[in-house]
Amino acid sequence: MDQVLLSIGLAITALLGAVVLNRRHARPENIFLAGWLIAYAAAFFGWIAAIMIGGAAALVFSAVASSGLMATPALSWLYARALSGETPRRVWLHFLPSAANFVLIAMLGLLSAAQNVNGAVIISGPSVLGLLLLLPSLVILAMSGYAVAAWKLAASKKAALKATRSDDAVAAFDWVRVWSATTLALLTAFLIFNIAVNAGAVSLSTYLTIVFAMITAQIIFVVYHGLKENVLLGAIKDAPSPASAVAAPPEQVTRLASYMEETKPHLDPGLTIDMLADGIGWDRADVTAAIRQSDANFFDYVNRWRVAEAKALLTAPENGAISVLAIGFDSGFGSKSAFNAAFKKATGETPSQFRQQHRSHKPL
């Protein structure tokens, strides 16, 4: 059964890797995504071969499997870098830990009477060689730094997008943060099971079943989001770093608020800070300074006006027959999820709950 599950995993990852590489435009991020899938394919292949061959020779294939797994965090980080428009340098350096892991485990099979028995590596040679088996666990811990770095990079990019955009593009990096979090969870599972299997506390079959399920779920999630075409790469890559806070004079804050109330630029779902600056006739820096007097970023400032618009529309008696979603779109939101999230953040209620609570009230 284990071999069937692993064979399916190998076929899926190899196929998806080929699909990614066959994209019409082989962008750097797609190359790293394909590499991530190929690394998992190598892990599945190594597991299958280790189970089929058994004995000391299986250590070489165990080395292939574990080294493939250890390469995936670096590849996810390189993907996040490329998606951000950054050009990683000396890419090969990031695969040295997984290469060292392969050499280490393979050498154990040559230098000692090591055997792979039901997933447990049994060393009958000098005890010092057995201590070397701790190194893969240390490498796993070290590789978790890539997942943390990818999470931080995605968070910083989202902050940069919120400083200039008010549409759903600000969520373009959210899935990368989920990817990073699941990578940390997988690395933790690998570490625990690596120790448990070699201690004989967990069977190889149980290990493979649990890990395969976790990996499969992550692969489906990552490939789905990685291949989506609606991610605004141009907006993401061109997003500047958040500007430093600058105090704006009160009259400038009042002027911006008056402009928002009179012309309602927030009703445009794709409003950017440059569009707002052009409309009011200011520099971007002046708009940013005025916004930061009341909100942390452009995204939250614009959504505050959209929520106010939605509250007025939801409580207007003449809009009783208009759906909540339609009102969200009329208020400038580009999607139902963005509308619900912004409205609940501002009011503590969903739009539907707010309408129900204020149905008999007059417009605000």
Domains, in order of start, for the chain: 2-237 (1.20.1070.10), 250-357 (1.10.10.60)
**Does the structure show a pLDDT above 60 at 244?**
no
pLDDT in tens, 303-347: 999 999 999 999 998 988 899 999 999 999 999 999 999 999 999
How much is the mean pLDDT over the chain? 80
Side-chain half-sphere CA neighbours of 67 within 13 A = 22
Amino acid at 266: H
From residue 268, give the alpha-carbon distance in Å to each of 263, 273, 283: 11, 12, 20
Cα distance between residue 63 and residue 136, in whole Å: 10
Q: Rounded distance, CA 167 to CA 202, Å?
A: 48
Interval 247-283: pLDDT, tens: 677 888 899 999 999 999 999 999 999 999 999 999 9
Among 144-148, 219-223, 291-295, 351-355, the minimum mean pLDDT is found in 291-295
Place of tokens 């070290």: 142
127-160 confidence digits (pLDDT tens): 555 555 566 677 777 888 999 999 999 998 888 8
